[in-house]
Amino acid sequence: MDIGFFLKGLIIGFSIAAPVEPIGILCIKRSLSKGRMQGFISGLGAASADALYGCIAGFGLTAITNLFLSQKLLLNMLGGLFLCYLGCRTFFSMATAREVPLIKNSYLGSYLSVFLLTLTNPMTIFSFLGIFSGLGVVESSSYRSAITLVLGVFWGSALWWFILSNLANGFRQYLNQRGMNWINRGSGLVLFIFGIMALWNIKG
pLDDT digits (tens, 9 = 90+) for 140-174: 446 777 788 888 889 999 999 999 899 888 887 77
With the C-alpha atoms ordered 52, 55, 58, 62, is the resulting torsion angle positive or negative? negative
Domain with 65, as residue range(s), is 3-71+95-176
The Cα–Cα gap between 1 and 7 comes to 11
> Would 203 be classed as within a structural domain?
no
> Would 162 be classed as within a structural domain?
yes
> Would 78 be classed as within a structural domain?
no
Total count of domains within the chain:
1
> Would 197 be classed as within a structural domain?
no
Asked if residues 12 and 135 have their Cβ atoms less than 8 Å apart, the reply is no
Asked if residues 107 and 44 have their Cβ atoms less than 8 Å apart, the reply is no
User: pLDDT of 108-131, one tens digit each?
Assistant: 888 998 998 888 876 666 666 666
pTM confidence score: 0.71
Asked if residues 191 and 90 have their Cβ atoms less than 8 Å apart, the reply is yes
